[in-house]
Amino acid sequence: MNAAEYEAMYRVEDTLWWYTGMRRIGEALLDGRLRPGLRILDAGCGTGGNLQWLARFGTAFGVDLAPEAMRFCTKRGLTAVAQASVLTLPYPDRTFDLVTSLDVIYHLGVADDVAALRELARVLRPAGALLVRVPALEQLRSAHDAAVHTRQRYSLAELRRKVAAAGLRVRRATYANTLLFPLAAATRLVGRIAGRGRHADDREAGAQSDVHEVHPLLNRAFGAALGVEATLLSRLDLPVGLSALVVAERP
């Protein structure tokens, strides 16, 4: 990502509806697998907010390729972090009970997403679980994707195929951020139409992500929408959304 995006992430990661709501969704999808005493890896830990969340369930380790990410993890007081690529994890085989990769393998810096998934599978213990999340649906590509260096957005079927190709057994596959999908899709369509008259290089240079503070009322409303989804996802999968998620298991 652009270096400024790490600063923006660090500033809002503990309070912004997106981060707090998606953690609730992650807990719903991992229901029954989260228990005290786990060894957990967050592969692509960013500024460490999710790493702190995961530490509630055991010993949590993090890796990220960006030096900016390491700097913000240090500001949080996190020490079990390493600067490394998800393509070459600095851990032995079968080290972790749970691996998370949250909005990572879609990135331009990950040239081979299936190879990255195989590496995540390598460090999982037998019957260990992987939670992987990616941005969904290429039709929703926007300025946000340019700002965070998105290589591609995924259909759920494609993500599921790639996880299976990495040798993992898919247990759950669903979209999320569904209730806000119509609003987001309309907003991105308008933004795309408005940007058609600009040169591609100009659009790239001026791209800004969606990671920023919002009005407290909106923050509560959007967070509540994801809370409803978390409740739904404890029982069923959702048919469309801004994110695609898979829970898989190492045989």
86 alpha carbon, distance to own chain's centre: 13
Quote the pLDDT of residue 142: 78
- What is the share, in percent, of the chain residues with pLDDT greater than 90? 78
Q: Where are the domains of the chain?
A: 3-249
Q: What's the mean per-residue pLDDT of the chain?
A: 91
Give whole-number Cα distances, 68 to 143, 168, 171, in Å: 22, 31, 34
What are the phi and psi torsion angles at 130 (to 5°)? -115, 130
| pLDDT of 200 | 45
Q: How many CB atoms lie within 10 A of CB 131?
A: 22
Instruction: Say how far apart CA 17 and CA 25 lie, in whole Å.
Output: 12
Confidence of residue 205 (pLDDT cuts 50, 70, 90): very low
Q: Say yes or no to pLDDT of 157 above 50.
A: yes
pLDDT digits (tens, 9 = 90+) for 26-60: 999 999 899 999 999 999 999 999 999 999 999 99
pLDDT band, very low/low/confident/very high, at 191 (cuts 50, 70, 90): low
Query: Tokens representing 18?
Result: 């997106």
Q: In this structure, how many other beta carbons lie within 10 angstroms of the beta carbon of residue 127?
A: 11
Residue 244 · residue 170 · CB < 8 Å: no
DSSP 155: -
**Enclosing H/E stretch for 14:** none
- Contacts of 124 by beta carbon, 8 Å cutoff, 6+ apart: 94, 96, 97, 99, 130, 250
Alpha-carbon Rg for the chain, nearest whole angstrom, is: 17
pLDDT of residue 194: 62
Domain 3-249 has CATH 3.40.50.150: yes
Residue 150 or 120, more confident: 120
Tell me whether strands 169-176 and 243-249 are parallel, antiparallel or unpaired.
antiparallel
